[in-house]
């Protein structure tokens, strides 16, 4: 089954404790992206990657890191989480070929930082 998976689905942590949220897709997509969703703000892009070893900042990258060492994986790293990073996080992926750019989303990771 074609899908985007994220782990963990729920995470409660404390300020300053490094964490990683994993994202994997099995559709051979070139493009992968991380979003955060907050009430009233819709989805805001954190980082994206257009291929292996190619990553770039989105609209709200502060406090986050990413890497793309393999095509299928795109982990999101919070080196020193803070309470304002409490949010619902989504990973998404797509092809980049014209006409095939719809994004497929993972189930989301709800992160709480206390």
Which residues of the shown chain bind another protein in the complex (CB under 8 A)? 30-31, 33, 35, 40-45, 48, 50, 58, 90, 92, 94, 96-99, 101-108
Question: Closer to another protein at the Cβ: 38 or 79?
Answer: 38
Question: Closer to another protein at the Cβ: 62 or 102?
Answer: 102
Smallest distance, another protein to C-beta of residue 79, A: 25
Smallest distance, another protein to C-beta of residue 103, A: 6
Question: Closer to another protein at the Cβ: 15 or 38?
Answer: 38
Extract the runs of DSSP E, i.e. beta strands, from the chain: 4-7, 10-13, 19-25, 31-38, 42-51, 54-57, 65-66, 76-78, 87-94, 104-105, 109-113
DSSP state of 80: S
- DSSP bridge pairs for 44: 36
Q: How far apart are the first and last CA of the chain?
A: 36
Question: Closer to another protein at the Cβ: 27 or 101?
Answer: 101
């Amino acid at each position: 089954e074609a899908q985007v998976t994220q782990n963990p689905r729920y995470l409660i942590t404390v300020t300053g404790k490094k964490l990683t949220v994993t994202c994997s897709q099995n559709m051979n997509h070139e493009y992968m992206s991380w979003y955060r969703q907050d009430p009233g703000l819709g989805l805001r892009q954190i980082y994206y990657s257009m291929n292996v070893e190619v990553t770039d900042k989105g609209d709200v990258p502060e406090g986050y890191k990413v890497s793309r060492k393999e095509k299928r994986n795109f982990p999101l790293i919070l080196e020193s989480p803070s309470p304002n990073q409490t949010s619902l996080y989504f990973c998404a992926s797509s092809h980049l070929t014209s006409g095939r750019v719809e994004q497929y989303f993972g189930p989301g990771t709800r992160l709480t930082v206390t």
